[in-house]
Structure 1
Amino acid sequence: MSEFESVPVTAVPEGARILDVREDYEWEAGHIDGALHIPLDELPARVEELDPDETLHVICRTGGRSQRATQWLEGHGYTAINVNGGMGAWLDEGRPMVSESDGEPTVL
Protein backbone atom coordinates (compact mmCIF):
# COMPACT_ATOMS: atom_id res chain seq x y z
CA MET A 1 0.00 0.00 0.00
CA SER A 2 1.48 3.32 -1.04
CA GLU A 3 1.77 6.40 1.11
CA PHE A 4 -0.48 9.31 0.28
CA GLU A 5 -1.11 12.77 1.61
CA SER A 6 -4.10 13.62 3.83
CA VAL A 7 -5.16 17.10 4.89
CA PRO A 8 -7.94 18.53 7.07
CA VAL A 9 -10.71 20.49 5.32
CA THR A 10 -9.19 23.69 6.69
CA ALA A 11 -6.08 23.03 4.56
CA VAL A 12 -7.95 22.66 1.26
CA PRO A 13 -6.97 25.79 -0.69
CA GLU A 14 -9.48 28.12 -2.31
CA GLY A 15 -10.02 27.01 -5.89
CA ALA A 16 -8.65 23.49 -5.33
CA ARG A 17 -9.83 20.78 -7.74
CA ILE A 18 -12.20 18.66 -5.65
CA LEU A 19 -13.13 15.09 -6.60
CA ASP A 20 -16.23 13.90 -4.72
CA VAL A 21 -16.47 10.08 -4.71
CA ARG A 22 -19.79 9.76 -2.84
CA GLU A 23 -22.94 8.18 -4.24
CA ASP A 24 -25.45 10.16 -6.33
CA TYR A 25 -27.97 10.62 -3.50
CA GLU A 26 -25.24 12.01 -1.23
CA TRP A 27 -24.05 14.42 -3.95
CA GLU A 28 -27.60 15.64 -4.59
CA ALA A 29 -28.16 16.41 -0.89
CA GLY A 30 -25.11 18.66 -0.70
CA HIS A 31 -21.71 19.13 -2.31
CA ILE A 32 -18.93 21.61 -2.92
CA ASP A 33 -19.74 23.99 -5.76
CA GLY A 34 -17.48 23.25 -8.71
CA ALA A 35 -16.47 19.78 -7.50
CA LEU A 36 -16.25 16.89 -9.94
CA HIS A 37 -18.54 13.99 -8.99
CA ILE A 38 -17.41 10.46 -9.78
CA PRO A 39 -18.73 7.79 -7.37
CA LEU A 40 -15.95 5.52 -6.10
CA ASP A 41 -17.21 2.42 -7.92
CA GLU A 42 -17.23 4.35 -11.24
CA LEU A 43 -13.71 5.77 -10.85
CA PRO A 44 -11.78 3.12 -12.85
CA ALA A 45 -14.16 3.48 -15.82
CA ARG A 46 -14.20 7.29 -15.70
CA VAL A 47 -10.58 8.08 -14.76
CA GLU A 48 -10.01 9.62 -18.22
CA GLU A 49 -12.24 12.52 -17.09
CA LEU A 50 -9.44 13.57 -14.72
CA ASP A 51 -6.42 15.67 -15.68
CA PRO A 52 -3.24 13.77 -14.67
CA ASP A 53 -1.40 17.10 -14.35
CA GLU A 54 -3.89 18.48 -11.82
CA THR A 55 -3.71 17.93 -8.05
CA LEU A 56 -6.99 16.43 -6.83
CA HIS A 57 -8.41 16.86 -3.34
CA VAL A 58 -10.54 13.73 -2.88
CA ILE A 59 -13.55 13.84 -0.55
CA CYS A 60 -16.38 11.54 0.58
CA ARG A 61 -18.65 11.58 3.65
CA THR A 62 -16.13 10.78 6.38
CA GLY A 63 -12.85 9.92 4.64
CA GLY A 64 -12.89 6.15 4.03
CA ARG A 65 -13.91 6.05 0.38
CA SER A 66 -11.77 9.08 -0.44
CA GLN A 67 -8.79 7.32 1.15
CA ARG A 68 -9.30 4.31 -1.13
CA ALA A 69 -9.77 6.58 -4.16
CA THR A 70 -6.63 8.56 -3.28
CA GLN A 71 -4.56 5.35 -3.01
CA TRP A 72 -5.94 4.09 -6.33
CA LEU A 73 -5.32 7.40 -8.10
CA GLU A 74 -1.76 7.69 -6.73
CA GLY A 75 -1.11 4.12 -7.93
CA HIS A 76 -2.20 5.17 -11.42
CA GLY A 77 0.05 8.21 -11.65
CA TYR A 78 -2.29 10.94 -10.42
CA THR A 79 -1.53 13.45 -7.68
CA ALA A 80 -4.31 13.04 -5.13
CA ILE A 81 -4.76 14.31 -1.57
CA ASN A 82 -7.28 12.76 0.82
CA VAL A 83 -9.52 15.22 2.69
CA ASN A 84 -9.73 13.99 6.30
CA GLY A 85 -13.19 13.99 7.83
CA GLY A 86 -14.86 14.38 4.44
CA MET A 87 -18.03 16.34 3.85
CA GLY A 88 -19.03 15.96 7.50
CA ALA A 89 -15.98 17.98 8.52
CA TRP A 90 -16.56 20.38 5.60
CA LEU A 91 -20.07 21.08 6.92
CA ASP A 92 -18.83 21.37 10.53
CA GLU A 93 -16.29 24.00 9.41
CA GLY A 94 -19.06 26.03 7.78
CA ARG A 95 -17.46 25.75 4.34
CA PRO A 96 -19.81 26.61 1.43
CA MET A 97 -21.99 23.93 -0.13
CA VAL A 98 -24.75 23.68 -2.72
CA SER A 99 -27.47 21.08 -3.31
CA GLU A 100 -29.34 19.72 -6.30
CA SER A 101 -32.69 20.26 -4.57
CA ASP A 102 -34.59 23.23 -3.20
CA GLY A 103 -33.54 22.29 0.32
CA GLU A 104 -30.62 23.49 2.41
CA PRO A 105 -27.42 21.62 1.48
CA THR A 106 -26.67 18.83 3.93
CA VAL A 107 -24.46 15.75 4.32
CA LEU A 108 -26.16 12.34 4.31
Structure 2
Amino acid sequence: MTVPEVDAHAVPTDAFLLDVREDDEWHAGHAPEAVHIPMGELQARVEEIPAGKPVYVVCRVGGRSAHATAWLNAVGHEAINVGGGMQSWALAGRPMVSESGQEPFVA
Protein backbone atom coordinates (compact mmCIF):
# COMPACT_ATOMS: atom_id res chain seq x y z
CA MET A 1 0.00 0.00 0.00
CA THR A 2 1.53 3.28 -1.12
CA VAL A 3 0.00 6.43 0.30
CA PRO A 4 1.10 10.07 0.17
CA GLU A 5 3.06 10.90 3.31
CA VAL A 6 4.73 13.91 4.92
CA ASP A 7 6.84 14.36 8.03
CA ALA A 8 5.14 15.90 11.06
CA HIS A 9 7.14 19.13 10.76
CA ALA A 10 5.83 19.59 7.18
CA VAL A 11 2.11 19.62 8.11
CA PRO A 12 0.83 23.17 7.47
CA THR A 13 -0.35 24.98 10.59
CA ASP A 14 -3.76 25.64 8.98
CA ALA A 15 -4.19 22.05 7.74
CA PHE A 16 -7.25 19.90 8.37
CA LEU A 17 -5.66 17.35 10.71
CA LEU A 18 -7.63 14.16 11.30
CA ASP A 19 -6.66 12.08 14.35
CA VAL A 20 -7.88 8.47 14.00
CA ARG A 21 -6.61 7.19 17.37
CA GLU A 22 -8.81 5.76 20.12
CA ASP A 23 -10.42 7.93 22.81
CA ASP A 24 -7.80 7.17 25.50
CA GLU A 25 -4.97 8.11 23.12
CA TRP A 26 -6.76 11.34 22.15
CA HIS A 27 -7.39 12.32 25.79
CA ALA A 28 -3.70 11.84 26.68
CA GLY A 29 -2.45 14.27 24.03
CA HIS A 30 -3.34 15.59 20.59
CA ALA A 31 -2.69 18.50 18.27
CA PRO A 32 -4.80 21.51 19.36
CA GLU A 33 -6.66 21.93 16.06
CA ALA A 34 -7.03 18.23 15.23
CA VAL A 35 -10.43 16.66 14.57
CA HIS A 36 -10.93 13.33 16.35
CA ILE A 37 -12.67 10.52 14.49
CA PRO A 38 -11.52 7.11 15.74
CA MET A 39 -10.56 4.69 12.97
CA GLY A 40 -13.54 2.43 13.70
CA GLU A 41 -15.97 5.34 13.18
CA LEU A 42 -14.37 6.78 10.05
CA GLN A 43 -16.66 5.23 7.44
CA ALA A 44 -19.80 6.26 9.34
CA ARG A 45 -18.52 9.83 9.93
CA VAL A 46 -16.74 10.53 6.63
CA GLU A 47 -19.20 13.37 5.87
CA GLU A 48 -17.51 15.35 8.69
CA ILE A 49 -14.34 15.57 6.60
CA PRO A 50 -14.29 18.54 4.21
CA ALA A 51 -14.12 17.78 0.51
CA GLY A 52 -11.82 19.68 -1.82
CA LYS A 53 -8.98 20.33 0.60
CA PRO A 54 -6.08 18.18 1.78
CA VAL A 55 -6.70 16.05 4.86
CA TYR A 56 -3.66 15.16 6.97
CA VAL A 57 -4.25 11.90 8.86
CA VAL A 58 -2.42 11.01 12.07
CA CYS A 59 -2.39 8.10 14.55
CA ARG A 60 0.22 6.99 17.10
CA VAL A 61 3.02 5.81 14.79
CA GLY A 62 1.57 5.98 11.26
CA GLY A 63 0.07 2.54 10.60
CA ARG A 64 -3.64 3.14 11.22
CA SER A 65 -3.44 6.55 9.60
CA ALA A 66 -1.86 5.02 6.48
CA HIS A 67 -4.88 2.70 6.15
CA ALA A 68 -7.27 5.61 6.77
CA THR A 69 -5.39 7.73 4.19
CA ALA A 70 -5.67 4.97 1.57
CA TRP A 71 -9.40 4.59 2.21
CA LEU A 72 -10.06 8.34 2.15
CA ASN A 73 -8.20 8.66 -1.16
CA ALA A 74 -10.20 5.72 -2.55
CA VAL A 75 -13.49 7.48 -1.74
CA GLY A 76 -12.43 10.77 -3.32
CA HIS A 77 -10.65 12.77 -0.62
CA GLU A 78 -7.14 14.19 -0.93
CA ALA A 79 -5.57 12.52 2.11
CA ILE A 80 -1.95 12.58 3.26
CA ASN A 81 -0.50 10.38 6.01
CA VAL A 82 1.56 12.00 8.77
CA GLY A 83 4.63 9.75 8.84
CA GLY A 84 5.60 8.54 12.30
CA GLY A 85 2.27 9.69 13.72
CA MET A 86 1.92 11.58 16.97
CA GLN A 87 5.26 10.20 18.16
CA SER A 88 6.94 12.15 15.35
CA TRP A 89 4.63 15.12 16.00
CA ALA A 90 5.84 15.29 19.60
CA LEU A 91 9.50 14.79 18.62
CA ALA A 92 9.16 17.62 16.08
CA GLY A 93 8.07 19.91 18.91
CA ARG A 94 4.64 20.53 17.41
CA PRO A 95 2.00 21.78 19.88
CA MET A 96 -0.03 19.29 21.90
CA VAL A 97 -2.87 19.56 24.42
CA SER A 98 -4.58 17.00 26.63
CA GLU A 99 -8.23 16.61 27.60
CA SER A 100 -7.33 15.78 31.19
CA GLY A 101 -5.64 19.02 32.20
CA GLN A 102 -2.40 17.05 32.68
CA GLU A 103 0.77 17.47 30.64
CA PRO A 104 -0.01 16.05 27.16
CA PHE A 105 1.79 12.90 26.02
CA VAL A 106 1.53 10.33 23.23
CA ALA A 107 -0.30 7.32 24.63
TM over 0.5: yes
Distance 1:102 1:14 in 2: 23
Q: List runs of 5+ in structure 2 lacking aligned partners.
A: none
**AA paired with 2:34?**
A
- The normalised TM-score by structure 1 is 0.95
Distance in 2, matches of 1:23 and 1:14, equals 23
The residue identity in structure 1 corresponding to 2:57 is V
Correspondences of 1:50-69 after superposition (within 5 Å): 50-69=49-68
Give the match for residue 22 of structure 2: 23
- Per-residue CA deviation, residues 75-99 of structure 1 (Å, 9 max, x unaligned), is 0000000000000011111110010
Count, aligned residues: 107
TM normalised by structure 2 equals 0.96
RMSD: 0.9
Aligned to 1:11: 10
Give the deviation of 1:51 after TM superposition: 1.0
1:11-65 deviations in Å (ceiling 9; x for gaps) = 1111111000000000000000111100011000000111111210000000000
| Distance in 2, Cα, partners of 1:34 & 1:11 | 15
Report deviation, 1:4. Answer: 2.5
Task: Spell out the pairing of 1:16-95 with structure 2 (5 A cutoff).
Answer: 16-95=15-94
